[in-house]
Chains A and B, each alone.
Chain A
Amino acid sequence: MCLMSTYAVEATDLVKIFGKERAVDGISLQVPKGIVYGFLGPNGAGKTTTIRMLATLLKPNEGHAKVMGYDLTQEADKVRHSISLTGQFASVDEELSGRENLIFIGRLVGYSRKQAKQRADELLQAFQLEEAAKRQVKKYSGGMRRRIDIAASIVTSPELLFLDEPTTGLDPRSRNQVWDIVRALVKNGTTVFLTTQYLEEADQLADLIGVIDRGKLIAEGTSKELKSSIGAGSLTVHFDDLDELKKAQNIFVSRFEQQPDINEQDISLTIMIKEHAKAAKAIGELANTNVQIKDFSMSQPSLDEVFLTLTGNVPDHEGGDSSNE
């Protein structure tokens, strides 16, 4: 146990170069203990490389980091004692059965044969994999694979668990199961460091979100902070005819000083909004002025929009909180 540090991860200027590409280009992070840290970014942004460095699998070319208070390169073995890693692709042996995998990992963390078997059975039950216990993992469904993967990571509960894209490719039900597992882990004091491509996932799970693009951390903050900087999404309003659409357009321009995107084919308009309350206000305003609305819908900002905003292509973001030096 390490009581010296309040941070699970403290990284300073981590750099990893593959050939000529700077896959990770000066990332600094401070992840407090006991939270879910969500590492959000598109494919190829450097998420996996960062996780692999922090899990002692790759040596950084530059920079240094402490994981659970231990130096990543000097005390790699101590780091390995405190962490577990669930990789992006199944980090279990697909040729073996689920139960064999868990016994195998149990033996590797130092349990006796009997303890390892007992622990395997406990985990299989808790993760609802008892029926599949004797089946080869390669015959598991995507959701089951993820569960056995995570079960293998908590044969002994780690202080810090790395989850690399835990729900990519899962159906909604399996995804919810994984989310529940993550929440249970954190409740029991494990710090979870997860990567994701989905804004919604980061939003649902993470206490702190780091947005990564092309090897750089371009924003960091709580879900709320990030959203206020990128807006809550867009509001689309449909109308019965073009006259109503024109009336609404005028109201938006005069009352909100915002030019909506007009789609005459659909007889609809779309505006970007910063917070949900403003959307309600806008709809209320239309109702007050007797504009006939057919229907309206809100959409979450997509990751594309987030990136568009954060990478600076959209000028008006004040709270981007860019943590690059």
Chain B
Amino acid sequence: MTSEELEKLQVTKTVDARGTACPGPLLEAKKAIGTIKPGDIMEVLSADEGTKVDIPKWCAKQGHEYLGTIEVSGYFRIFMKKH
């Protein structure tokens, strides 16, 4: 998805993991995805460079759909759809 498309997504849950280092953002994502319904969109905010590699791999393994990442000043917005 393009950044413009990602911006327009109806996000059900935003997880702000900017205060944590690896594996914090991944674990925050793991905990939060259990609280939303299949088909819902979740956004993870992370200032950890590794998260933008970790989350797509995690989504692939867990069966969720990784939608894309927007790089903002100092952090990343990572979008996924729950399976």
Say whether A associates with B.
no
Residues of A within 8 A of B (CB): none
Residues of B within 8 A of A (CB): none
